[in-house]
Amino acid sequence: MAGGFFRGTNVEQDPRFGDVSEKMIGQAKFSSVFKKPVNMSKVNLEAIKPWIADKINTLLGIEDDVLFDFVVNMLEESNTPDARTIQVNLAGFLEDKAPEFMQNLWSVLLEAQQSEGGIPESFIRNKMKELRLKREEEERAAALIRASNTRLREQSQQRRPRSGRHSRWDADNIESSSRGKPERASSSYSRSYRNSRDHDSRRDYRRRSRTRSCSKSRSKSPSKRRLS
């Protein structure tokens, strides 16, 4: 304890700070929007906190959690905060950017207290716009995927051989492209496969028959051939 005051005393506890604050308020220039009071009981501060953090980061170029907590604490101290006092207290952090920040913040608070649920209408419109843009981007991505799949199917059809037989690659394509109608695709492929096997079997049978007939004719003796 030094000078009769505890470390960490605020403006209300130490009258010396109060005198300096009142003097700076008398010398500073403030926005005309400060003439309208704000009732924090009608403001949804949780919805405005992200805006405060983003605005501080934009003005300073870095994240400053200490300054963010300082601003939020000053708004929560009373249901009717004084915009001029807050601007003077922020001058040490934001310097000449404090008036701009407070003018924007006070305008947001005034809009919030007049909106249903304490959320500024501009915030709701921006969120709806963000969701619409996200949905449009997803639809464009889905359209690109569909176009790519169509091109792949066309290329696979062009690569298919002209003969009645199907290669193993074509069989895989038929199976993957006919998932919606598995019975028709599988029966068509099975029918062509059976026809191919039957054709090969008949051809092998005729070849074996000719071979046996030739072998029998050669095995006959000369005497039997004469008798015949």
pLDDT band at 3; cut points 50, 70, 90: very low
- Average the pLDDT over 68-75 and give the result: 95
Q: Residues 73, 58: contact at Cβ < 8 Å?
A: no
Bridge partners, 5 (sequence order): 2
Please determine, for residue 157, whether its predicted confidence score (pLDDT) is greater than 70: yes
State mean pLDDT over 100-120.
92
- 171: helix, coil or strand? helix
**Cα 187 from Cα 138, distance rounded (Å):** 38
Average pLDDT over residues 122-131: 85
Alpha helices by DSSP H, listed for the chain, are 15-27, 45-60, 65-76, 83-94, 98-113, 121-159, 168-177, 182-219, 222-227
What average pLDDT score do residues 69-97 get? 92
* pLDDT given for residue 17 in this prediction: 45
Q: How big is the CA angle at 44 (ends 42 and 46), to the nearest 5 degrees? A: 155
Identify which of 28-32, 71-75, 183-187 has the greatest average pLDDT.
71-75
The three-point CA angle 204-209-214 to 5° equals: 130
- Mean local confidence (pLDDT), 110-121: 90
Q: What percent of the chain has pLDDT over 90?
A: 35
> Whole-angstrom Cα distance, residue 25 to residue 43?
25
Output the six-digit token pair for 194: 């059976």
Residue at 201: amino acid letter: S
Q: Which residue has the higher pLDDT, 154 or 21?
A: 154
Distance of alpha carbon 139 from the chain centroid = 12
pLDDT confidence tier of residue 27, bands split at 50, 70 and 90: low
Give the span between the Cα atoms of 143 and 149, in whole angstroms: 10
99 Cβ neighbours under 8 A, 6+ residues apart? 29, 30, 31, 87
Q: Are 26 and 97 in contact (CB under 8 A)?
A: no
**pTM for this prediction:** 0.52
Give 29-51 pLDDT, tens digit per residue.
888 999 999 999 999 999 999 99
Mean per-residue pLDDT for 66-78?
94
Residue 132 pLDDT grade (very low, low, confident, very high; cuts 50, 70, 90) = confident
Phi, psi of 36 (to 5 degrees): -90, 125
Q: What is the pLDDT of residue 4?
A: 42
Range 126-148 average pLDDT: 88
Burial label for 111, CB within 10 Å (0-12, 13-18, 19+), is: middle
pLDDT above 50: residue 15: no
**Is the distance from CB of 52 to CB of 71 less than 8 angstroms?**
yes
d(CA 23, CA 72): 24
Higher pLDDT, 23 or 72: 72
Residue 169 pLDDT greater than 60, yes or no: no
The per-residue pLDDT for 2 is 41
With cut-offs at 50, 70 and 90, classify the pLDDT of residue 193.
low
Please state, rounded to an integer, the average pLDDT across all residues of the chain: 76
Higher pLDDT, 60 or 224: 60
